[in-house]
Amino acid sequence: MKNDKTELFEKLKTAKKILFFTGAGISAESGISTFRGAGGIWNKLKPEELANFNAFLKNPDMVWEWYQYRRKIINETKPNPGHISIAEFQNYYDEVVVSTQNVDNLHRRAGSKIVYELHGNIERNYCINCGKNYNSPDFNFTDKAPRCECGGLIRPDIVWFGEYLPQDVFSASEKAAEECDVCFVVGTSAVVYPAAQIPMLAKRTGAYLVEVNIEETELTYRADLSLIGKSGEVLPQILEEVKKIKTT
């Protein structure tokens, strides 16, 4: 049975290393829209016009304005019970790693210590010419694409389509996948590669794979357990059980 939690709690009793692989759905309850599915931003806006380097070169101001808009939303949000529960897992296990596709910083703000950002971070920016970093909030950005002192355009440090993921972050996530005992896959459609390889690697190398999502995804049939529900509700319930397991 894909929704019987008995085996999960057995695994969580003896597990030492836990991996959380997360996507946009975990931040949905903080008020940040997902990309795909109901209410997803790409139902209205085209990713090919906003999320690749050629689009940026063609229309830097439009792409920059889009990220400025997202930054403002993210700055006004806060971590939700899903992020907070994940951070609390650190009190009960030897190692808790978060490998996230999100760029919103909410895992760190919730207190998670090991966070691998596979698709970058919206607070970081760099010059496409000389590579100099320009990080908000130290740098006062306007709504027009800013220029570096060398004259180059400044872009957000986000992995767009067709770009390579940061190799060190991806390798560290692979290592965590290979080593973990339980892997939670939370709030992701699991359709974007190579990130979506991470939970499959965890499963292949012996981890117990648990999916938390409001609907079934590409990954559901591979998961050992599929918990259908909001991550801000499901994860606190699992954490409560962990507290009991670990104190008895």
Which residues does the annotation mark as catalytic?
A: 119
- Asked if the peptide bond before residue 81 counts as cis, ω within 30 degrees of 0, the response is no
C-beta of residue 185 within 8 angstroms of C-beta of residue 200: no
**Per-residue x/- mask for Zn ion, residues 137 to 166, rule CB under 5 A?**
-----------x-x-x--------------
What residue ranges in 81-196 does DSSP mark as E strands?
95-100, 114-117, 120-127, 154-158, 182-186
Q: How far is the CB of 149 from ligand BJW (least distance, A)?
A: 26
- CB closer to ligand BJW, 110 vs 159: 159
Q: Give, in order, the Cα–Cα distances in Å from 51 to each of 26, 54, 63.
A: 21, 9, 8
Stretch that binds Zn ion, among 75-83, 98-106, 119-127, 215-223 (CB under 5 A): 119-127
Cα distance between residue 97 and residue 100, in whole Å: 10
Partner that binds at residue 129, options ligand BJW, Zn ion, none, CB closer than 5 to 8 Å by kind: Zn ion
What's CA 228's distance to the chain center, in Å?
19
Q: How far is CA 203 from the centre of its chain?
A: 19
193 binds ligand BJW (CB under 6 A): yes
The edge-to-edge listing of strands for the beta sheet with 208-213 is: 114-117, 95-100, 17-22, 182-186, 208-213, 225-228
Count the site residues for ligand BJW by CB under 6 A.
35
Question: What residues between 133 and 162 interact with ligand BJW by CB under 6 A?
Answer: 158-162
In total, the chain counts a number of residues equal to 248
Angstrom distances, CA of residue 112 to CA of 21, 107, 194, 213: 13, 6, 23, 20
Of the residues 54, 91, 129, 205, which one makes contact with Zn ion according to CB under 5 A: 129
Least distance (Å) between residue 83 CB and ligand BJW: 11
3-state SS, residue 25: helix
Residue 236 binds Zn ion (CB under 5 A)? no
Indicate which of Zn ion, ligand BJW, none lies near residue 230 (CB less than 5 to 8 Å, by partner kind): ligand BJW
C-alpha span between 212 and 237 (Å, rounded)? 12
85 binds, among ligand BJW, Zn ion, none (CB under 5 to 8 A by kind): none
Which CB sits closer to ligand BJW, 15 or 22? 22
Site for ligand BJW in 78-107 (CB under 6 A): 101, 103
Residues binding Zn ion (CB under 5 A): 127, 129-130, 132, 148, 150, 152
Residues binding ligand BJW (CB under 6 A): 23-25, 28-29, 34-37, 40, 51, 101, 103, 119, 158-164, 187-189, 191-194, 212-215, 217, 230-231
